[in-house]
Amino acid sequence: MTTPTRAAMKGRGVAKRSEAVKREERTGWTFMVPFCLLFLIVFVVPIIWAIYQSFFQQVATGGGAYGGGTLENKFVGLANFQYVITSKAFWSGIGRVFIYTVIQVPLMIILALALAMLMDSFIVKHVSGFRLLYFLPYAIPGVVASIIWVFLYNQQISPIVKFCELFGLHPDFFANNVVIGSMANITTWTFTGYNMLIFLAALQAIPHDLYEAARIDGANGWQIAMKIKLPNVRGAALLAMLLSIVGTIQLFNEPQVMQTADPGISDSFTPMMMALNTSRGSLTPKGDGPASAIAIVMALIAGVLAATYALVERKVNES
Amino acid sequence: MVSYTKRLFAGVAAIAALGMGLVGCGSSSGDSSASSNADASKDSGEVVKITYMHRLPDNEGMTTVDSIVDQWNKDHPNIQVTATKFNGNASDMIKKLETDVKSGNAPDLAQVGYAELPEVYTKGMLEDVTQYAEQYKDHFAEGPYNLMQVGGKYYGLPQDTGPLVYFYNKKAFDELGLAVPGTQEELIAAAKKAAAAGKYIMSFQADEAGNMLTGLAGASSNWYTVKDDAWVVDTDTDGSKAVAKVYQELLDSKAVATNPRWDPSFDASLQKEELVGTIGAAWEAPLLMQSIGDSGKGNWAVAQVGDWFDNDGKTGPDGGSGVAVLKGCEHGKEAMEFLDWFNTQTDALISQGLVVATSDTDVKTPDSWKEYYGGQDIMAEFVKANDNMGDFTYIPGFSAVATAMTEAASKAASGKGTVADIFAAAQTTSIDTLKDYGLSIAQ
């Protein structure tokens, strides 16, 4: 008696649900269309195009001194990749970016975390005011920030240099070994507030019962910070680190702007700059083929680095 | 049901909004010429539309390009010109034009530097207008006119020239008891004397090395010559050696300013009267006025580059541009007709800070310049330098050579390299870039 009824009801239920599900799916996809379209147009298609281009070089086939006035796309197989991988300029660029990342990212993350902890503690009143203040540099576009700092670094007009001169110091922010530090300073100034917000959000998501329990057990503020807050923001730290590593590998704004003040920053200072200047033709080999190859190799390196970091982080968390 | 319709509507609205956004992008990036070509072909013979992209400053107090073009449009209802200013540097503009030519919506006319023309030609961006150019030949100075040709064919008309001259602060020179040096020995001695008083009468501009040092070296002989349809590259000419020797000595004895030209510190040292003399292109005259500011008004003067680099009294080119007809232009004849008129609007172009390339040598120095440069007729000085300029041929791919030179120059400025390294870098990069373009090199 009961079995067929149940089966019938089940069948009816499935039919009903599937109609609702379909409708919902339709609506869902409608909402997805704008995203998918844009994603396809500005992300997927250019990447495929770049990969396609990276197998070509543009050469004049007309012969003679000026080459007949047209460039032809010549399929060169993996020659562009071979050039990138064997290019000294490319690897010194990667080296600079690597040094930069190793110095800048941990420094900024620690600073951001410290600020967030301070903000989340009971010491600071008027949190929203401070939050805005620290976040403000992030609201300034990277290029503008770099321009401001170029003036602040300038030997002849910088107030910082003038201040240092009071103490008999003569800092040269564009000296060969210092210039990377000067760039790191700009990035840190811009992004510390942003990362602080990530940490602050994570800190404020921690249930306050934990603090109460800890206080009843006799923990002081410092212990709460170290034993409860810090372990609970690990996820946020991973996110901030990943974003920062990916961001610093694409180092571009700072060196590009500082180049006007310091021609010692070459056109291939970072891989990003090298890719741009290769496509413009101010580096040789020139053109979109080699430029795409540089971009692809750099993306692979960034991907490997980010994946390695995520894996290591997970391993550390598990143990 | 209501909610479903609502949701659907919202979705459609979102897509519509997105569509509008995309349309907005599309039209703004392509409006430079695609529409004009289409229009022109539709009613051919009636109104021809020409588009022109330039990089002229259009600053306050100048006769703007738009107002010059308006004048033309008023007088020529059948040839309507639209000018667009490109806000960016030369290499960005070339890159943009390259993409535009490929996608078939490039402007008809575009400003192209003489040093870039061979490169732009090799990249397949130019339209041969030899048949129209011939009749305008007499309107322009011969040297610049010929800089608009590649391999015997003409691709546009010259607009301005950039002969190198010497800018100096006459008042400061008098105070130091110096005169503009005539020979190499005098130059070095004067620079050292000024340096002892904490002043510089020369500047070594690493960021301009590719343009300026090439010009100075090129004053005496060419780096690039074509022999049997193949390039002969020699960047280590006697001229280059002399430039290297002089600047090396000045750098070694710290008798030359090393601020990059486009860094704010260059302007600061001019304002502080630390830097009281520098070689510069003629088109820098109004720029220097801005850099130095009112404090130097009336003190500065222009002189010819002396015989400092075994240049035998000659000077070299630094910059200067023509306007080229780009591939895909359907109205070469009308474009050239406009171009001939535009490039001979002497007074208006001078107000833009150009040393015009016309054959008309009776050019007036604007009053504000005259006032700034102590009453001197500096235009006459520029024309003199122009007539005294050595011929220099650039190779396709010269922009890569300039980059390599800048890099080497900045090492020389900081003492990590020598000035001679700059010319060595030019040699290897010249060969590399020619090979990369697939052009022939004579061994």
Instruction: Give me the interface pTM, i.e. the ipTM.
Output: 0.82
Tell how strand B149-150 and strand B164-169 pair up: unpaired
> Which chain A residues have a beta carbon less than 8 Å from that of B91?
280-282
> Which chain A residues have a beta carbon less than 8 Å from that of B413?
263-264
Partner-chain contact A27 B7, CB within 8 Å: yes
Quote the pLDDT of residue A126: 81
CA dist., res. B97 & res. A270, Å (int): 26
CATH number of A79-318: 1.10.3720.10
Domain with CATH 1.10.3720.10 in chain A: 79-318
Quote the pLDDT of residue B6: 53
Tokens 């540099």 belong to A137
The CATH superfamily assigned to B164-317+389-437 is: Periplasmic binding protein-like II (3.40.190.10)
CA dist., res. B81 & res. A146, Å (int): 39
Q: Are the CB atoms for B26 and A41 separated by under 8 Å?
A: no
Tell me whether domains B46-158+320-351 and B164-317+389-437 share a fold.
yes
Amino acid at A267: D
Count of A-B CB contacts under 8 Å: 146
Query: CA distances (Å), B243 to each of B29, B195, B307, B419, in order?
Result: 44, 19, 11, 8
Residue A85 pLDDT class (50, 70, 90 cuts):
very high
Could you say which residues of chain B have pLDDT below 70?
A: 1-45, 361
pLDDT higher at A154 or B361: A154
> Which chain B residues have a beta carbon less than 8 Å from that of A31?
11, 14
> Which chain A residues have a beta carbon less than 8 Å from that of B262?
260
Distance from CA of B16 to the nearest CA of A (A): 10
Quote the pLDDT of residue B436: 93
Quote the pLDDT of residue A80: 96
Tokens 């994946």 belong to A307
Pull the structure tokens for residue A293: 């190859």
CATH number of B46-158+320-351: 3.40.190.10
> Which chain B residues have a beta carbon less than 8 Å from that of A65?
151, 226, 229-231, 439-440
**DSSP-derived secondary structure letter, B138:** G
> Which chain B residues have a beta carbon less than 8 Å from that of A27?
4, 7-8, 11
CB atoms near residue B284 (< 10 Å)? 21
Quote the pLDDT of residue B90: 84
Residue A315 pLDDT class (50, 70, 90 cuts):
confident
- Interchain contact A255–B (C-beta under 8 A): no
Quote the pLDDT of residue A130: 86
Amino acid at A239: L
Partner-chain contact A60 B122, CB within 8 Å: yes
pLDDT higher at B68 or A125: B68
Quote the pLDDT of residue A62: 82
CA dist., res. A182 & res. A153, Å (int): 8
Partner-chain contact A65 B440, CB within 8 Å: yes
Q: Are the CB atoms for B437 and B397 separated by under 8 Å?
A: yes
Partner-chain contact B11 A33, CB within 8 Å: yes
Residue A16 pLDDT class (50, 70, 90 cuts):
low
Residue A269 pLDDT class (50, 70, 90 cuts):
very high
Pull the structure tokens for residue B302: 């222009």
User: Vertex B264, ends B84 and B365: CA angle to 5°?
Assistant: 60
Considering only CB atoms, A284 lies closest to which of B14, B95, B432, namely B432
Quote the pLDDT of residue A318: 76
Distance from CA of B419 to the nearest CA of A (A): 14
Looking at residues A99-103, what average pLDDT do you find?
Answer: 91
Partner-chain contact A154 B122, CB within 8 Å: no
Please report the residues numbered 23 through 52 in chain A whose beta carbons come closer than 8 angstroms to any beta carbon of chain B: 23, 27, 30-31, 33-34, 37-38
**DSSP-derived secondary structure letter, B279:** E
Considering only CB atoms, B439 lies closest to which of A58, A60, A282, namely A60
Q: Are the CB atoms for B357 and B160 separated by under 8 Å?
A: yes
- Domain ranges for chain B, please list them: 46-158+320-351, 164-317+389-437
pLDDT higher at A120 or A199: A199
Tokens 């991988």 belong to A85
Quote the pLDDT of residue A177: 83
- Interchain contact A157–B (C-beta under 8 A): yes
CA dist., res. B430 & res. B402, Å (int): 9
For chain A, what is the mean pLDDT? 88
Quote the pLDDT of residue B396: 93
Partner-chain contact B397 A281, CB within 8 Å: yes
Quote the pLDDT of residue B27: 36
pLDDT at A106 over 70: yes
